[in-house]
Amino acid sequence: MAETFPSEDTVRLRVGGFEPLTTVDWEGRLSAVVFLQGCPWRCRYCHNAELAALTAPGMRPWAEIRQLLEARVGFLDAVIFSGGEPTIQSDLPHAAEQVAELGFEVALHTNGFDPNALSAVLTTGAIDFVALDIKAPFEDYELITQVPRSGDGARRSLRVVLDSGIAHELRTTYHPALLSADHLRQIARELAEAGAERWIIQLFRPQGCPVRWLRESIALPAHVSAELRAELSALLGEVEVRGTE
């Protein structure tokens, strides 16, 4: 019997925000960003903490967002699913397929908390690019997520991404009050052992962070010295630092 999929009207996503146009979230593409509600982690530096709960005031139905995207066919190049953590919503694979069928490229931003859910999205064939957050060395994820053993699933998700063959980016937000240079060295080693060849270090931005001591820490602004960058590159390969130093 042929497999059946939900119709357009039965796909349910809890959409917490929608950015109709961005030129910076996917290089070289005019993109829209769909921010989905829900996240199982409580990362200390989270800039989208209002999206952590699965339910929140002002959510928009997926049918409405889909209509907005249909109206932008021929203008936009791509659609990015972000959050929150988009893979927490079980209808994400079907929504990604609908977006791909409209002719858009599709990207996914994920923390990789659930490798099975991540695999379900990536194996649809609808995802063209995935950005996977690497929060910390896998044994130290709780420093950031505040959830014990959260690095276990993230380690497996790294394997899912690397084995998928899909274009990807591995990225770590660096706040010097939360991660040390030794943490960065350990991340580089773990990524290299997994077979990764490129890593993005994103310098923490205090703007919009809800936690005062993180915004005002004397360790700010975040900085990666040229010497440390060279050391990390020697461990892994290509290491890019993003943000203002």
Looking at residue 245, what is its pLDDT? 55
- Centre a 10 Å sphere on the Cβ of residue 77 and count the other Cβ atoms it contains: 15
pLDDT category, 5, cuts 50, 70, 90? Answer: very low
Q: What is the mean pLDDT of residues 22-37?
A: 92
pTM across the whole model? 0.91
- Residue 128: C-alpha distances to residues 36, 106, 132 (Å): 19, 5, 13
Pairing state of beta strands 198-203 and 105-110?
unpaired
The answer, yes or no, to whether residue 209 has pLDDT greater than 90, is: no
Instruction: Give the other-Cβ count within 10 Å of 125's Cβ.
Output: 11
Q: Residue 58: its pLDDT value, please?
A: 66
In the predicted structure, residue 2 carries a pLDDT above the cut 60:
no
Residue 233 reports pLDDT greater than 60: yes
Instruction: Give the Cα separation of 32 and 68 in Å (integer).
Output: 10
Return the pLDDT at 1: 34
**Tokens 């139905």, residue?**
61
Residues 94-127 have pLDDT tens digits of: 999 999 999 999 999 999 999 999 999 999 999 9
Q: What is the pLDDT of residue 244?
A: 65
- In CATH terms, the fold of domain 8-242 is TIM Barrel (3.20.20)
Check pLDDT > 70 for residue 21.
yes
Residues in the chain, overall count: 245
Q: Given a cut of 90, is residue 29 above it in pLDDT? A: yes
Q: Average pLDDT for residues 128-132, to the nearest whole number?
A: 98
Residue ranges of domains in the chain:
8-242
Three-state DSSP class for 173? Answer: strand
